[in-house]
């Protein structure tokens, strides 16, 4: 989108984007984190961050990282987004089967708040 739209995005608005980027990507059979595989010369995570930045300021974008967290963080650190480290690696299907959507959203929100303290 246009630069004007990006500059209008204000940090600390009531809206945030959470990017789930903690997975191992075991089905890819690669040592590289799946979010760092490239398409068009840019990591997949970079494409998602760029799209989110069209709507919100980087200060309102959070990437949940886990597997090879430091490598993922280093690859997109210049974007200015926030990182939340997922200490326990869980499958998304575990969360889906054990909690309602509202409970999962509440859990993620609490983890985000704790990480910012």
Question: Percentage helix, strand, coil, to 5, in the chain?
Answer: 50, 15, 35
Distance (Å, rounded) from C-alpha 30 to C-alpha 40?
19
CATH hierarchy code of domain 3-88: 3.90.550.10
**pLDDT for residue 104:** 64
**pLDDT for residue 44:** 93
Concerning whether 27 is annotated as a catalytic residue, the answer is yes
> Which residues of the chain are modeled with pLDDT < 50?
1-8, 95-98
User: Are 33 and 86 spatial neighbours (Cβ–Cβ below 8 Å)?
Assistant: no
**pLDDT for residue 1:** 35
Domain boundaries, the chain: 3-88
**pLDDT for residue 78:** 95
**pLDDT for residue 21:** 87
**pLDDT for residue 95:** 46
Q: pTM here?
A: 0.68
Q: Which candidate in 27, 91, 104, 117 is catalytic?
A: 27
């Amino acid at each position: 989108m246009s630069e004007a739209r990006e500059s209008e995005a204000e940090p600390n608005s009531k809206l945030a984007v959470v990017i789930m980027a903690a997975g191992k990507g075991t089905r890819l059979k690669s040592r590289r984190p799946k979010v760092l595989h490239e398409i068009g010369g840019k990591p997949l995570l970079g494409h998602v961050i760029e799209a989110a930045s069209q709507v919100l300021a980087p200060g309102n974008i959070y990437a949940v990282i886990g597997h090879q967290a430091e490598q993922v963080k280093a690859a997109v650190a210049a974007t200015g987004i926030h990182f939340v480290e997922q200490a326990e690696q869980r499958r998304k299907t575990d969360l889906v089967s054990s909690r309602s959507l509202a409970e999962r959203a509440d859990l993620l929100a609490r983890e985000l708040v704790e990480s910012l303290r």
